[in-house]
Structure 1
């Protein structure tokens, strides 16, 4: 008004422009909003801890009048990097654009990728608007790291050494016969002539009890038993170790049960092969830490442990009560293995833990320690020793 009163037309035009342009910019974004949709794929959608997945996006803009660049943001959990941002500048017209980025997961679990949002501005960049792209979110599944364990420890009663795990021939039932090939010095009275005829080789009966390929794995998920709960802490080490041993046993066609203080984690039942291994990984991927304080709570169903031919426990720090519960639960098992932390290397020296390990050893357990920074195969190899 003052510019008009004093006759300064240029100043008046500038004032009008400063006033009107922001309004026009706002109206432009209201009347011509970006219409964005997308498709997202994860390559792969399932991966072990520490691996990399590639996120591939195809963004499509259906608003032909949208001229300004779009700042695209694809959200993700912080555990997988927090997502990514990028700018697409295509000008007027409908368009589609493919982009990709990588995520690395340091933590086990299921993580959401998305939503995809876009920040648009008017051509003069005086106003902005954020819209959510049409399209579904994605889930990245990060499984525990599974180490390749070459063999079952025969010294602990799990391996196929000599007659320890005889071959089962014939159909399941009362007529099952346990046999092996004839060796020099075998009593000829033990020759099984019917099986020898079938195999075209001398086969002898075994006098051992039938092999029961059942095993219970105990994973200690108690927060109070682990000093380090991070991706490289003893809790995640224990989960990775159980996953590795479980895979080895399932490959060996063991009937498997995994229990934790929070309850039963996995039971293989009659499942075998890749389906059983995948189901086991799914269960351990979703396994959460526990506020329980006594490891004995993993044995609320005593039959699940006492009926197993072998028991493998991967624990945190143990108390005398924990060791007593383990000893009682594995009393009837032929093989009992405990992987326990080397407490000083984890920064948690404990005389009670050392005494608990000695108690387990006195009750027939094979006790091996795992140190901070050590791999599962290194600790597992100590079981044989």
Structure 2
């Protein structure tokens, strides 16, 4: 609750009038002081009244690609029983405030407001809460309250269609079709039994040791397993335009395009970050949400070598796609050291002033100005 300048002046006048009136026995001044004090008290009571409002938000849709339309539908219901509400309300949408008219909202009634959510930039746009401001008729006291929670709208990077996909290190004579559920005959891990699993896949020795049925999880080694690594170090993307690193945005679009192409072809794919955050953002589901929420991170000189060493130890695929910016041109040797662990290594460099030398560090290097240029160069790769 805040008292306006008018309210502070009137309260000071009330104190002065009452003091002078009682001290020097001026009943007229005392009456004026009492009237001023009553006005301030009435303003406090009026502003303190809390309307019973119920706020609901529905995003349509809640996940879009950059530049696609998205809208938020806000429904405000008056849960009170006695009086109508005429309020000044604003809904927060990202970095702007959207006015919400609440004029004579009767008890039990509701009003609905629909407005566009800005999607011109990749990221997670928080919408809410609704901020309701109460003022008394004299403008002496102002009180603001928040209603409802926040609803995120996930703005994914643009996806550029990719026609070509890696063929993988191992190749099946029957092609990429695998009719065996949960992989083929190559052991990958153990997991708990669920209804519907075949009993012939139960690992009885482990089940007897842990006291629960454990099932073998197999993988198909004939399928290429892709690992997309996004370089989110601030040093790799030094150039900024209006606070935005265009090379990093292009790298995010390229990562989204590769992931989407792998999912379309039913290929295993994983998305990793050079400087991983402490945890995934709340509500994130899948790599596209991670790409929407990822931001540049300040990392030391050992961040990239540590990440490459981790990739070498894990060997989580046979095709590595490393996406970075112009600031990492001199550090691609760390990526080239992975060629022994990953038979196919493709590096995408965005926003470089001049192209990398052909065959630099023994890698397949794609120089591109943006995500669309990367997609065109990607489809032209003849060797993986």
TM-score by length of 2: 0.66
Indicate yes or no: 2:277 matched with 1:279: no
Q: 1:46 to 1:290 in 2, by over 3 A?
A: same
CA root-mean-square deviation: 4.1
- Displacement of 1:226 in angstroms is 0.6
- Equivalent residues in 2 for 1:4-15 (5 A)? none
What are the equivalent positions in structure 2 for 1:196-345 lying under 5 Å apart? 211-228=222-239, 230-231=243-244, 233-263=246-276, 279-292=286-299, 293=301, 295-303=304-312, 306=315, 308-317=317-326, 322-344=331-353
Q: 1:22 to 1:255 in 2, by over 3 A?
A: same
1:206 maps to which residue? none
Any runs of at least 4 consecutive aligned residues in structure 1 with deviations exceeding 6 A, and if so which?
Answer: 14-18, 162-165
Does the CA-based 8 Å contact 2:129-2:149 persist in structure 1? yes
Q: Report the counterpart of residue 137 of structure 1 in structure 2.
A: 150
The 2-side partners of 1:312 and 1:33 are apart by 56
Q: 1:326: how far off?
A: 1.3
Q: Distance in 1 between matches of 2:246 and 2:276?
A: 22
- Give me the TM-score of the superposition, normalised by structure 1: 0.66
User: Counterparts of 1:22 and 1:307 in 2: how far apart (Å)?
Assistant: 72
- What secondary structure is seen at the aligned counterpart in 2 of 1:234? helix
Structure 1: gaps (5+ residues): 2-10, 175-209, 267-276
Give matches, 1:1-385, under 5 Å: 19=36, 22-23=39-40, 25-26=42-43, 28-30=45-47, 32-63=49-80, 69-78=86-95, 82-90=96-104, 95-122=109-136, 124-152=137-165, 166-167=175-176, 171=180, 172-173=184-185, 211-228=222-239, 230-231=243-244, 233-263=246-276, 279-292=286-299, 293=301, 295-303=304-312, 306=315, 308-317=317-326, 322-344=331-353, 357-358=356-357, 361-371=359-369, 374-383=372-381
Uncovered stretches (5+) of structure 2, i.e. residues with no partner:
1-16, 18-27, 187-220
